[in-house]
Structure 1
Amino acid sequence: MARAATMSLPMSLILLAAMFSTLPAAHADAGFISYICNKTKNATMCVAVLRDDPESAKASTVRDLANIALQITINTTDHNADVIDDLAKKSQGTSQGHALTVCHKAYFGASIDLNIFGRYCFDGGDYAETSKILSSAKGASDKCENAFKGIGKMPPVTAMDIMMTERCSVAADLVDLLVDK
């Protein structure tokens, strides 16, 4: 019985040390994200976007954060395209359905560009081209908003369009930090 109590004290100390040793690291990661985001055009938005993804806490380089931001953008684009496609199918034959089809085509095109060309260029180190692809993909939200302006209706997907613009902007800003100038 005495041996079990002796073993539990060292084990408890190891567990406590392990728990407390991670606290400064988590704080340092938040500091790293803030430090890098302060180099972008909109530091507050950059921090907000990256903090939504738990992988950001593991990042240790600008490239890591840019990669995470690119993936967040890809995921957002794919999600938005799926949701808009469902809405368009439910509104077929109406002016809203037509506008949603325009939105879906824009998001679907952006999804292909980001998933194939954006990922390929980023992974290959062509950051200037990746930034161009992100900037182009950001246009999907504008196309969608304009489709609804054309029919004089408020878009039901404005929140998704705003999110798309923000995600693309953050990813492009971080990728731009990698471009040799």
Structure 2
Amino acid sequence: MLLSMTTFTSASLKASSFVVQICGESQNPSMCNKVLHSNPCSDTSDLKDLAYTSIGVALSNAKQSLDYVSYLAKKTADPKLKDRYKTCAENYDTTVEDLSQSNTFLEKDDISSFWTYASSAFGGPATCKDSFEGMPAATAQLNEVNKKLTLHTHIVLTIAANLSLTSASSLVSKVCGITQNPSQCNHVLGSNPRAAEADIKGLGYISIDIALSNAKHSFGYVSSLVKTTTDPTLEGRYDTCAENYDDTVDRLSQCKTFLDNGDISSFQTYASAAFTNIDTCVDSFEGPPAAPAKLDVVNKKASGLIGIVLAVGALLDGQ
């Protein structure tokens, strides 16, 4: 019984800390607490549950705000005000749709799209506010309505941002956990700002871009070795490496096309061929004369980066 109570208390504290975390990052912590605690289970909710709560509150408010500003547009006789109210109505209508879509993508665990639509929803009231620059001014009540919707949508956006970071971190760990060099993988993906909001397909594009850029530089380096060596055996081996790196550049470029088309089987085939090309370069140096130390480092780095592409391919294939 003691163990059960301790476990429950620990879980509650962890979940409750999400409310503290989100509201600490919100524009109005007091309102944020009120919104999230509209769900009596908020203190034991995870981030996803809090997202549903915040979307529900923001969506209800957005619909009420749309009704109010539509009423203003019909009531006013001032043509300039009417245009401005219509602008707000259009943007509030979009906000309603964006929040509805956010909820749909959250249900599908598509955190990247959830964040995109949450961000768009947040932009609705901002555009309404901007439409009232100069005279005639918005009514005091519309200013309050707009301010409240801004705060509500910001809570949704804050949760979306935190879910994106959690999702990305989990995905990076999953990808790097099946590579030959997890440390290199975590460093490469963890230091890339695009990875923070990427889904598994996004990590595919990121890993290809990094491996492709490296392959191009490596091709340039090996080509320079071909031109500078006077040893015919080394020249032949450098030629082999240059040909393989050139093919690797082509293979990785094709991987991006296959990813665009959702052809994961071809994506994996070409990534595997790119990886094999580096092995071929390494194998060409069996026996003396040996490869220079820098070429060994170049080959090792290239293999590691292409290995990340392969790891992403394996996870994409498992979806």
Pairwise CA distance, 1:150? 4.4
Contact 1:95–1:151 (Cα < 8 Å) also in 2:
no
Contact 1:148–1:155 (Cα < 8 Å) also in 2:
no
**Which residue identity does 1:121 align to in structure 2?**
F
Taking structure 2 as the reference length, what is the TM-score of the superposition? 0.45
Give the structure 1 partner of residue 314 of structure 2: 176
Give the structure 1 partner of residue 216 of structure 2: 78
Give the structure 2 partner of residue 91 of structure 1: 229
* Alpha-carbon distance in structure 2 between the residues aligned to 1:33 and 1:162: 26
* Alpha-carbon distance in structure 2 between the residues aligned to 1:85 and 1:53: 29
* Structure 1: runs of 5+ lacking an equivalent: 1-13, 15-20
Contact 1:128–1:176 (Cα < 8 Å) also in 2:
no
Pairwise CA distance, 1:135? 1.2
**Which residue identity does 2:174 align to in structure 1?**
K
Pair 93,26 (structure 1): closer, same or farther in 2 beyond 3 Å: farther
Higher relative contact order (CA 8 A, sep 6+): 1
Q: Deviations over 1:53-105 (max 9, x none)?
A: 3322342x111111101111111111111111111111155322221111000
Give the structure 2 partner of residue 35 of structure 1: 170
Query: Where in structure 1 do 4 or more consecutive aligned residues deviate above 4 Å?
Result: 25-28
Matched, 1:128 2:265: yes
* Alpha-carbon distance in structure 2 between the residues aligned to 1:54 and 1:92: 44
Match for residue 138 of structure 1 among 258, 272, 275: 275
Pair 120,101 (structure 1): closer, same or farther in 2 beyond 3 Å: same
Pair 72,49 (structure 1): closer, same or farther in 2 beyond 3 Å: same
Q: Secondary structure at the match of 1:148?
A: coil
* Structure 2: runs of 5+ lacking an equivalent: 1-26, 28-156
**Which residue identity does 1:80 align to in structure 2?**
S
Instruction: Give the stretch that moved more between structures: 64-73 or 44-53.
Output: 44-53
Structure with greater Cα Rg: 2
Matched, 1:149 2:283: no
**Which residue identity does 1:39 align to in structure 2?**
K
Pair 52,149 (structure 1): closer, same or farther in 2 beyond 3 Å: farther
Q: Deviations over 1:5-42 (max 9, x none)?
A: xxxxxxxxx9xxxxxx99xx58963x444311332313
Q: Secondary structure at the match of 2:174?
A: coil
Contact 2:212–2:252 (Cα < 8 Å) also in 1:
yes
**RMSD in angstroms over aligned alpha carbons?**
2.6
Q: Secondary structure at the match of 1:70?
A: helix
Aligned identity (percent) is: 20
Pairwise CA distance, 1:180? 4.8
Pairwise CA distance, 1:123? 1.0
**Which residue identity does 1:88 align to in structure 2?**
V
**Which residue identity does 1:154 align to in structure 2?**
A
Contact 1:110–1:137 (Cα < 8 Å) also in 2:
yes
Taking structure 1 as the reference length, what is the TM-score of the superposition? 0.75
* Alpha-carbon distance in structure 1 between the residues aligned to 2:230 and 2:247: 20
Q: Secondary structure at the match of 1:153?
A: coil
What count of residue pairs does the alignment treat as equivalent?
Answer: 158
